[in-house]
Amino acid sequence: MVSLAGKGAGEIARRAYQIAGIVQGVGFRPFIFRLATELGLTGWVRNTPAGAELELQGTTDTLDAFCCRLQAELPPLAVVTRFEQYDLPELSTASGFVILPSSDGRPEVQIAPDSALCPDCRRELLDPADRRFQHPFITCTNCGPRYTIVTGIPYDRPLTTMAGFPLCPACQAEYDNPLDRRFHAQPIACPNCGPRLALIPDAPQPVIQAATLLQQGQIVAVKGLGGFHLAVDAANDVAVARLRQRKQRDEKPFAVMVPDLTTARQLAELSPMEERLLAGPEAPVVIVRRRAGCAVSPLVAPGSGWIGLLLAYTPLHQLLFQDSGLIALVMTSANVADQPMVSTDEEAVLLLPGIADAVLTHDRPIQVRTDDSVLRVFLGQPLFYRRSRGYVPRPVSLCFDAGQLLAVGAELKTTVCLSRGDQAFLSQHIGDLKNEQTFDSFRQTINQLQEILQLRPTMVVCDQHPDYLSSRYAQGCGLPLLTVQHHHAHMAACMAEHGLEGELIGVIFDGTGLGDDGSVWGGEFLVGGYTGVRRAGHLKPVRLPGGDLAAREPWRMVAAWLYDQLGDAVWRLPGMPLLTASEQQVLQMMLSRGVSAPLTSSVGRLFDAAAALLGVGDRNSFDGQAAMALEALAEQAAVAAQLPAVALWDQGDAPFQLDAAPVLQALADGCRTGLTAGYLALGFHRAVADAVLAGCSRLRDSVGLDRVVLSGGVFQNRLLSEMVYTCLVQAGFAVFIHRLAPPNDGGIALGQLAVASHRRDCCCWM
């Protein structure tokens, strides 16, 4: 904020203010109106293409009080990213305060994310005397849909999916009254003007009938803000098992919705930060530790002591719990086998029969498909697993001017990112780009963001893997193209979040990413910055027998790591399946000749091997399953096994290598001698953390760098991340972890954009 001088306290002054951020469609102008009127200030406020502007006149101490209260009392959905003020000549006839019509010009406003039901609307929803009693679409300027209903700019009701619902006289009066909580609330609705619910098959009281079906153990598809969810009673083992069978989702954890924070406390052990996140306007899924005796079925998150909770964030969700006796509902994305979340009634009718017993829908269209956000608390602060509803399209502030760029991410957990100056707009979670349906959603997301942000990118950035669908899209854009190595993008994303410049160490651990040498990287120690990095160290490369099949069958990585040491004895290790002689021969040929077995330095696959040896990783039916099971196993142990150190091979000018074979051999030996699996699993985590410290210490000694960023999907492992962070900090390193974007591939697009903004002259035309 610019400080002003020249006037003493109590003297009359006039000031102009320019404000940017999320200040339109969130009750900002009526807030300014009420605040100025309360303080006795005169002047005006209006929307502009860049945000909002206002002029105020009054005593200097009152104007100073206005600025302090503006910052402290912002409406819940408002975000101020720039605040400028300057003096104007005083007006001798100033009187009153007014809201002026919006100024013209090219819009550069920010659309607010969708927001959870606010306390005021919840109170009205449950008040029999209120005219919106039990109206499932109650909303105001402090809550409700935003991003998911926008069809164009400027953000006005005719350019949202509420355009088909004319306001009744009562709603129109609220909409036009600057002192009303619903002044210019574009999604405003009531029972008279709609929208309206329907249950398929038809029922006269859709909510009551849907709740009855849920009580009976049936599966109901429920239309939310950004798409349909599949809901069942989370306390009903049979219902949860039926949902797993119908959705063909064997063991991946489900999210669980509860009506309020009181219920959440009954089911889970919550820290103050976890409670704050659950009850916040973003209403994400928060991964929390379940209580002993928790009423939620263990089939919701098999073998895990953690559960993903979220609060009922729409009025419709609230009504499903009201007077139904239900305390928790599984609320998982309604989709079919790796396809995007169902978001239209047509898709629901076509794709959900055979999965859902009924569909609870409504006639307000969803413009932007958006999944729930998922995070957990790490070291007292949020760590995203998925950044989506509630946070998108809120920008990430950059410490550099990126211009107007488009970054299209990688293949898994795809997001895209667009920049406007020093702001990066990371999209909602799109999914894995492995089919045409998800690719369509990917293209729609790019078009939607470009439209509402009014951006026309001058360059496109993609992963250097040429066969990703995102890379093919970039190649066909007709724009200058820059490719960025996968792990460099991971590193740059974390740097961009923290505003880091210069060179540092990047420890990037994940499952897969095409390396500069054509092999599969995933256990990297990089040195450099935005403009370039060098591979200073890595996990020892081993074969990936069967290629992608090795990611689904972790035992293959046991053979990859230990066949050279043990020969045919490897087939008799714990966790190995019974293979025929011919199957063993085929695997041996893969390992010795490299047939269908590319080299990989993946730490993700190393964790798979450890999980297989300890009996908790016979398969990966979803990304990271074996590693999650290994972490859960390690959390059961009070002390860690003392395993051999991961060997560090110093190779002079060549990158050093970390050899984990002795650690895996020790796990196998420990299992044979009867050591507990949890004890060994915790020891494995400690050995990997110690290896990170050894690698970073080696680099500090050789290149003099002591700043480290941690990125990649492996660092979703809370236990490992805490060990690595703690030992590095204790050794004197400055350590940076993700806070605004996920460490997994959901943050790749942000990193690609950051690299591209520093290497524009390296692009080529496609």
Q: How confident is the model at residue 68 (pLDDT cuts 50, 70, 90)?
A: very high
The DSSP H or E segment spanning 605 is: helix 603-613
* pLDDT score of 33 more than 70: yes
- Residue 107: the pLDDT is 56
Domains 12-99 and 197-362 share a fold: no
Span 383-399, pLDDT tens digits: 999 999 999 999 999 99
- Residue 3: the pLDDT is 41
* CATH architecture, domain defined by 540-693: 2-Layer Sandwich (3.30)
Give CA–CA dist 28/667, Å, rounded. Answer: 60
Measured CA angle at 420 (ends 419, 421), to 5 deg: 110
* pLDDT score of 564 more than 60: yes
- C-alpha atoms less than 13 angstroms from C-alpha of 675 in its C-beta half-sphere: 23
Give CA–CA dist 614/548, Å, rounded. Answer: 22
Edge-to-edge strand order for the sheet containing 51-59? 79-88, 12-22, 51-59, 42-48, 97-99
Pick the CATH number of 12-99 from 3.40.47.10, 3.30.70.100, 3.40.470.10, 3.40.50.1370: 3.30.70.100
Fold of 197-362: DHBP synthase (3.90.870)
Q: 493: closest CA among 744, 759, 733, 763? A: 744
Q: 486: which residues sit within 8 A by CB, 6+ positions away?
A: 410, 463, 464, 465, 513, 514, 515, 521, 748
* pLDDT score of 35 more than 90: yes
Average per-residue pLDDT in the chain?
Answer: 93
* pLDDT score of 27 more than 90: no
- pLDDT-wise least confident of 504-508, 618-622, 755-759: 618-622
**287-318: b (≥16 Cβ within 10 Å) or e:** bbbbbeebebbebbbeebebbbbbbbbbbbbb
* pLDDT score of 8 more than 80: no
SS3 call for 308: strand
Q: Give me the mean pLDDT over the 253-281 stretch.
A: 97
Q: How many CB atoms lie within 10 A of CB 495?
A: 25
Span 357-368, pLDDT tens digits: 999 999 999 999
Q: What are phi and psi of 622, to 5 degrees?
A: -145, 160
Give bridge partners of residue 98 from the DSSP assignment: 44
Q: Give me the mean pLDDT over the 638-667 stretch.
A: 94
Give CA–CA dist 309/328, Å, rounded. Answer: 9
Q: How confident is the model at residue 9 (pLDDT cuts 50, 70, 90)?
A: low
- Residue 61: the pLDDT is 92
- Report yes or no: 462 and 433 within 8 Å, Cβ to Cβ: no
The DSSP H or E segment spanning 649 is: strand 647-651
Q: 623: closest CA among 644, 592, 641, 602? A: 602
Token output for 540: 């020892």
- Threshold 0.85, pTM exceeds: yes
- DSSP of 49-91: TTEEEEEEEEEHHHHHHHHHHHHHS--TT-EEEEEEEEEEPPP
Span 666-687, pLDDT tens digits: 999 999 999 999 999 999 999 9
Give bridge partners of residue 43 from the DSSP assignment: 56, 97
Span 424-481, pLDDT tens digits: 999 999 999 999 999 999 999 999 999 999 899 999 999 999 999 999 999 999 999 9
SS3 call for 147: helix
Q: List the chain domain ranges.
A: 12-99, 197-362, 540-693
* pLDDT score of 1 more than 60: no
- Report yes or no: 753 and 457 within 8 Å, Cβ to Cβ: no
- C-alpha atoms less than 13 angstroms from C-alpha of 11 in its C-beta half-sphere: 9
How many helices (H) and strands (E) would you count in the chain? 22, 32
Q: 424: closest CA among 383, 391, 395? A: 395
Token output for 316: 């419709």
Give CA–CA dist 513/745, Å, rounded. Answer: 10
Measured CA angle at 720 (ends 501, 488), to 5 deg: 35
Q: Give me the mean pLDDT over the 650-660 stretch.
A: 92
Q: Give me the mean pLDDT over the 253-275 stretch.
A: 97
Give CA–CA dist 658/515, Å, rounded. Answer: 17
Whole-angstrom Cα Rg for the chain = 28
- pLDDT-wise least confident of 45-49, 73-77, 760-764: 760-764
- Report yes or no: 511 and 628 within 8 Å, Cβ to Cβ: no
SS3 call for 240: helix
- Residue 102: the pLDDT is 76
Burial class (CB in 10 A: 0-12, 13-18, 19+), 634: buried
Q: Give me the mean pLDDT over the 57-76 stretch.
A: 91
* pLDDT score of 325 more than 60: yes
Q: Give me the mean pLDDT over the 105-134 stretch.
A: 89
- Report yes or no: 491 and 508 within 8 Å, Cβ to Cβ: yes
Measured CA angle at 122 (ends 119, 128), to 5 deg: 135
Burial class (CB in 10 A: 0-12, 13-18, 19+), 434: middle
- C-alpha dist (Å) from residue 353 to 336, 359, 464: 11, 9, 40
Higher pLDDT, 5 or 289: 289
- Residue 765: the pLDDT is 54
- Report yes or no: 136 and 142 within 8 Å, Cβ to Cβ: no
Amino acid at 357: D
* pLDDT score of 210 more than 90: yes
Report the interhelical angle of 718-730 vs 677-703 (nearest 10°): 40
The DSSP H or E segment spanning 210 is: helix 206-215
Give CA–CA dist 57/91, Å, rounded. Answer: 8
* pLDDT score of 562 more than 90: yes
- Report yes or no: 173 and 167 within 8 Å, Cβ to Cβ: no
Give CA–CA dist 287/269, Å, rounded. Answer: 11
- Residue 390: the pLDDT is 96
